[in-house]
Amino acid sequence: MHDIFDDNYDLSRIIVKPLYFGLLVNIMLPVALLLVCYYLSNNHYIENRLGRAANTLFWVFGMLSLMEAGFSLWWRSGLFKKPMIRRLETFESDFTTSLLSRSRPVFLVIASISLYGYVYFFITGRFQEAVFFIVLSFIVFQVVRPRYGYVRKLIKYQKGLVDRGELLSN
């Protein structure tokens, strides 16, 4: 749906850099590492060094992953409630820069969920269970990634902060 709002801001340009960064660290790199694990799983024997304790480690990593997923959602919300604009004259530029710089650490936290899968695989040799962590990181990224509707709301919120005189300080 075309909106007057879209005429004032180039939403595609605003979203593209954070989205590409997120795709790289949350989709491309994890898939590449997953392919390495798949190859090793099919062509080399990887010993389960933990025995039955591998199940406990899976649940520990699972709980840590869920905590990181919740933290990333909470952190993103907090980061974007703070002022992102230095001056009204540079609103779109400031917004674009802030969106990218504040999205990066959140995307890295999400990507770290997939690391549990690789660690789990190399310790236990269990490929299917390791895939769970990579898929979970994909799902969390899908929830957190920038979307047009979210960016529109965020711009309106930041405009309100600017109108109240709340600006990003150096």
Q: Within 10 Å of residue 59's Cβ, how many Cβ atoms? A: 9
Give domain status of residue 6, yes or no: no
Query: Using CA atoms, how far apart are residues 166 and 93, in angstroms rounded to an integer?
Result: 17
Residue 86: its pLDDT value, please?
A: 93
Give domain status of residue 42, yes or no: yes
Give domain status of residue 126, yes or no: yes
Residue 14: its pLDDT value, please?
A: 92
Mean of the per-residue pLDDT values of the chain: 92
Give domain status of residue 8, yes or no: no
Range of the domain at 97: 15-163
| Confidence grade of residue 5 (pLDDT, cut at 50, 70, 90) | low
| Contact assessment for residue 151 and residue 14, using Cβ atoms and an 8 Å cutoff | yes
**Pick the residue with more confidence: 61 or 8?**
61
Give domain status of residue 7, yes or no: no
Number of domains in the chain: 1
Residue 168: its pLDDT value, please?
A: 87
Give domain status of residue 68, yes or no: yes
pLDDT tens profile 129-160: 999 999 999 999 999 999 999 999 999 999 99
CB within 8 Å of 33: residues ≥ 6 apart: 114, 118
* CA 47 to mean position of chain CA atoms: 32
Residue 110: its pLDDT value, please?
A: 96
Looking up tokens 């491309």 gives: 28
Say yes or no to pLDDT of 107 above 70. Answer: yes
Looking up tokens 């999400």 gives: 110
pLDDT tens profile 22-71: 999 999 999 999 999 999 999 998 999 999 999 999 999 999 999 999 99
Give domain status of residue 97, yes or no: yes
